[in-house]
A and B are shown apart, each in its own frame.
Chain A
Amino acid sequence: MQNQFLQPQIILLKEGTDTSQGRGQLLSNINACIAVADSIRTTLGPRGMDKLIVDNNGKVTISNDGATILRLLDIVHPAGKALVDISRSQDAEVGDGTTSVTLFAAELLKEVKLFVEEGLPPQVIIKGFRRASQLAINYIKEIAVSVERKNESEFRDLLEKCAATAMSSKLIHSHKDFFKKMVVDAVLHLDQESLNEKLIGVKKVPGGGMQDSLFINGVAFKKTFSYAGFEQQPKSFKYPKILCLNVELELKAEKDNAEVRVEQVSVSKEYQAIVDAEWKIIYDKLEKISNSGAKVVLSKLPIGDLATQFFADRDIFCAGRVGADDLGRVIKAVGGVIQTSVKDISHDHLGVCDSFEEKQIGGERFNIFEGCPKAKTCTLVLRGGAEQFIAEVERSLHDAIMIVRRAIKNKSVVAGGGATEMEISKYLRDYSRTVEGKQQMVIASFAKSLEVIPRQLCDNSGFDAIDVLNKLRQKHAQGCKWFGVDMESESIADNFEKFVWEPALVKTNMISSASEAACLILSVDETVKNAQSQPPDAGMPGRGKTILYGIY
């Protein structure tokens, strides 16, 4: 099915490597981790590339997001999986920095591989890593610049900058200015205490340019399946009352399992009675709904043609089979309670909003509720050429939204482009000189590993990494702590002044989880071997896909 350029980028290895020995196993685990990191190495930074991944069902994903790529690669090697796990947890905790965390963890292992080969006990390395990581985190907290939320426009500015940095490695980077506003608008629109990002709906409509994407101040969802009569319903209201139901509105059997037996034809008039009863049930329901004063009726369950036509006659809009999450967001936004019966609908079961409209967006029709009084929600309608394209836009915006949330909560930022990493690296290197013995080597390797971020940024941009890193080391030695890789000049610059800002949390989380993962991998030798020789562990996907083993 593939031609030669579709070769799986697979990370290889032959099984049956030396796994008998503890150390051999450990080395092979380290190699596996490096192989995993190699698969996403080129995606880092503003000049990072994307991967196109086809899964077993033929679904295509194009992504730059470390966590997404690793998830789709379906790595089963237990050690490699540890890296997948940290990228995922970084994604959940922070939302961004998932590539960095993987690269850094692998680099830590690579740096100490020599020590392991030489027989340095892993415990010594682990101890050193833990110490270095603690120091690094404290140091980041010390140097991070915090911004108080006094001046709203200044604060907004900060948020936009963090959003822009998070987007700069993504497909949407040339539309940063457009999307950063959208993202910050969306997050600021939420309740500032809870900042529940689930209340930001994202809808994808293929077609159009990405700059045709919309920000909707309220809830929006796609037109649901409709029955004949729907087109005769009104499609826009001002201040409508909204009723949300979990009730099926269809002509149905009176009782689901009831059975009637009609003995005599003369009584077949009974038929009429039964039929009338059936009709009465549905009409009673519809009558109650219409009397409640609701102008927009939504239901999770189907609304049949009879009901559709009934509503059309009374100038009521209805939509059946509304998705649970969409209905949930509507309820949260407009107020009211989802009704499971229409028996007694009272006034406060209904929601309201300023305006409701069915609108055409691209090739789709959308139901849009704007000006919702209850919860602060909003919807981003994303446009773009191909489906995979919009999916990637969504992921990128998700990163940015998470980052903005973090920035609002933590309010402290550092500079990106490898600046922070270089600064900690310098700090740890200086520190290591004050330590005696083996720990000195270990902490120094930790310091060196941090340089992987700026180095990879250079490599991916085609800059001379050795040259740039030398310049950076020099600058940081002189105390210019925010110097990092600069894309425009193809050299270095003060990235704080260049506004390449990131929440400090991205870095602290990256360092602590990468170092934890490295320690974990260093601490297992025998165990991994067992896991491998046993039947696949719980994480082994039944789909049997790209499988990673160690190298060599």
Chain B
Amino acid sequence: MSAVYAQDEYGRPIIIVREGQKKQRVSGIEAHKSHILAARAVANIVKTSLGPRGLDKILISPDGEITVTNDGATILTQMEVQHQIAKLLVQLSKSQDDEIGDGTTGVVVMAGALLEEADAMLDRGIHPIAIADGYERACNVAVAHLESIADTVPFDKNNTDMLMRTAKTSLGSKIVSKCHDKFAKMAVDAVLSVADLERKDVDFELIKVDGKMGGSLVDSVLVKGVVVDKDFSHPQMPKELKNCKIAILTCPFEPPKPKTKHQLDITSVEEYKNLQQYEKDKFNEMVKQVKDSGANLVICQWGFDDEANHLLMQNQLPAVRWVGGPEIELIAIATNGRIVPRFAELTPEKLGFAGTVKEVAFGTTKDRMLVIEECANSRAVTVFVRGGNKMIIDEAKRSLHDAICVVRNLVRDNRIVYGGGAAEITCSLAIEKAADQVSSIEQYAMRGFASALDAIPLALAENSGLSPIETLADVKSRHATENNPWLGIDCNLKGSNDMRKQFVFDPLLSKRSQFLLATQLVKMILKIDDVIMPGEIEG
């Protein structure tokens, strides 16, 4: 009567498979229990990757692609979960990812724990909806308590210390923890360069995260500007330009071609020559138009042939061709230029400006990229991740994404709570207290919620090799005796449980969202008493 999932000690792909037993329908409480079982199986899978000492998982896709990751949302989406209820947990982690970016493992672990508690309560005959209502009530208590214990972290463009520390907490559990500082700094700088601190808004479109194989993680850089995976169109063009006035063109360097269907028949040599001459004149005219506008660099969305290329070179007009639409837009924004659709419309005001544009070679490869820096508008940035192989780069990008999200969340709302399970433990205690005031049956459910919260510190302790129950009991009692809500699990064995001193911060937004989303989902699962699939009907 169990959902089977396969997982070996290396965390190889895990698939929940059906059991080939005789089909039989379950309903009522039995159905509930089987749903819970499936959901918990999923939660157990990601539990081991929670926290700074959590393990990574290697996932192999059906076509052999390998992903190494610690990110809950990634693990779950890449796993082929079949069970309908289990799939809901995958969605849960995805919505935390969409909304907050970090905390995607924690939210699933919490939902799993809530369901486990619910299971026990169902056994005691408590109605699933009564459990759901009690959870809701407990969640409200928890969220209110979180808000009451939250600390505000001051920061501004020059004082980023707190942002750094929060970003580091998020990176702590990832592969990149070796170059912690570097990545945290890149995340903070990237967000702060594009953030509108007044409106508390961070436009993610302005942050591009790019990666290229070669070098190591330490070589990753934040470019205050745009990086395009292109090079100058002619090898003899200069590799570095200063004070660039950039013409950003969406028209090709070629003679005009009507969109109307047309046909041209060449019947004589003379005509052919004429045509060539005509094309040449056109090129010259175009180059002249660009030069006249004052531009000294052309970025072109389309291509041009060798002849045009040669001509550009001769005219000392460096050019880049085949730049994609999104990059064109990013360059336009960064350099405060306008995208120009026709040569005839080029004017000096429409040009973009960048302090330097240079071609950079990476590592030993021949690959070159164009780095556009010191732009007129400093808001667009690119994070450029380096690493030995694709897996590392991908995971580093994901981790960086988490960290960027964390910083963004702090820009939106600069309140934090303490990590390492500290927030969960104090909420758990607060709910216990509140439950005492409740006379109805919901009291049990609230207590259940309180003990479910322990799952986070328990998992953190277990993953760090501590004895989970003793560690938690110890910290919990100190919460009560020392009345100190900052105590958590000392995952990195630093010798202190004070998360405030260890600077383990999680944004309030993230914790709040974890609580709300997990509760919501668990309520939804508790309300389902039947899963109806299409398919064969047996008589």
Interface residues of A (CB under 8 A from B): 1-10, 12-15, 42, 46-47, 49-56, 60, 62, 64, 72-73, 171, 174, 206-211, 227-232, 251-255, 257-266, 268-269, 271-272, 274-275, 278-279, 305-306, 309, 312-313, 360, 362-363, 384-389, 461-462, 488, 543, 545-547
Residue of A7, A258, A263, A269 with most chain B CB atoms under a 10 A cut-off: A7
Q: Give me 22 A-to-B residue pairs in the complex whose CB atoms sit less than 8 angstroms apart, sorted by A's number.
A: A2-B535, A3-B82, A4-B18, A42-B530, A51-B528, A60-B87, A208-B99, A232-B339, A254-B259, A264-B271, A271-B255, A279-B342, A306-B341, A309-B338, A312-B339, A384-B520, A385-B92, A385-B95, A385-B521, A386-B92, A388-B91, A546-B532
Given A228-B332, A229-B332, A265-B278: A73 and B532 interface contact (C-beta under 8 Å):
yes
Do A278 and B258 have beta carbons less than 8 Å apart?
yes
Q: Which of A207, A268, A545 interacts with B275 by CB under 8 Å?
A: A268
B:270-321 near A, CB below 8 Å: 271-272, 274-275, 278
Given A2-B535, A15-B539, A49-B527: A259 and B271 interface contact (C-beta under 8 Å):
no
Q: Which of A14, A54, A363 interacts with B534 by CB under 8 Å?
A: A54
Do B262 and A360 have beta carbons less than 8 Å apart?
no
B interface secondary structure, majority: mixed
Chain A neighbourhood of B513, CB < 8 A: 208-209
Bound complex: CA of A279 vs CA of B201, how far in Å? 38
Given A206-B95, A268-B264, A275-B257: A6 and B127 interface contact (C-beta under 8 Å):
no
Bound complex: CA of A547 vs CA of B537, how far in Å? 8
B:476-504 near A, CB below 8 Å: none
Do A259 and B260 have beta carbons less than 8 Å apart?
yes
Do B34 and A5 have beta carbons less than 8 Å apart?
yes
Chain A neighbourhood of B524, CB < 8 A: 50, 62, 171, 385-386, 388-389
Q: Which of B91, B274, B517 interacts with A266 by CB under 8 Å?
A: B274
Interface residues of B (CB under 8 A from A): 1, 3, 17-19, 21-28, 31, 34-35, 38, 82-85, 87-88, 91-92, 95-96, 98-99, 125, 127-129, 132-133, 136, 201, 205, 250, 255-266, 271-272, 274-275, 278, 325-326, 328-329, 332-333, 338-342, 440, 513, 516-517, 520-521, 523-524, 527-537, 539
Do B531 and A6 have beta carbons less than 8 Å apart?
yes
Nearest residue, chain B, Cβ from A262:
B264
Do B257 and A271 have beta carbons less than 8 Å apart?
yes
Do A50 and B528 have beta carbons less than 8 Å apart?
yes
Bound complex: CA of A208 vs CA of B274, how far in Å? 66
Do B533 and A6 have beta carbons less than 8 Å apart?
yes
Do A9 and B95 have beta carbons less than 8 Å apart?
no
Chain B neighbourhood of A253, CB < 8 A: 258-261
Chain B neighbourhood of A5, CB < 8 A: 26, 31, 34-35, 38, 531
Report the minimal beta-carbon distance from B339 to chain A, rounded to whole angstroms: 5
Report the minimal beta-carbon distance from A248 to chain B, rounded to whole angstroms: 13
Chain B neighbourhood of A462, CB < 8 A: 125, 127
Given contacts A8-B537, A15-B539, A253-B258, 16 further A-B contacts (CB under 8 A): A5-B26, A7-B26, A9-B27, A10-B537, A49-B128, A52-B530, A174-B133, A207-B98, A229-B332, A232-B338, A260-B260, A265-B264, A268-B255, A309-B339, A309-B340, A312-B338
Chain A neighbourhood of B329, CB < 8 A: 228-232
Bound complex: CA of A235 vs CA of B133, how far in Å? 42
Report the minimal beta-carbon distance from A119 to chain B, rounded to whole angstroms: 30
Nearest residue, chain B, Cβ from A229:
B339
